[in-house]
Amino acid sequence: MNDQEEKESTFWKSHRLLRLPQVLDIFPISKSSWWLGVQKGVYPPSVKLGPRTTAWKSQDILDLITRLSIDNGKNA
């Protein structure tokens, strides 16, 4: 893979949309806890794709994990 292909691959991996089951595979909490966190602004806002379809930007989920890891490191 050349540099351009690698950059494009990295771009698309970081700009995917994740549905709730995928988010909860990465961030294992209950659905109700996740939605409560979204409502309170603790977790990233969703993107509405349709009347009954919701997703999250993969980069937002990665940023959340990074932020929580950093916060956890400060409290250790």
Dump pLDDT digits (tens) for 24-68.
999 999 999 999 999 999 999 999 999 999 999 999 999 999 998
Task: State pTM to two decimals.
Answer: 0.75
The label of the residue with tokens 């999250």 reads 56
| CA pair distance 50, 33, nearest whole angstrom | 23
| CA pair distance 34, 69, nearest whole angstrom | 17
Q: Is 49 helix (H, G, I), strand (E, B) or coil?
A: strand
Beta bridge partners of 50: 53
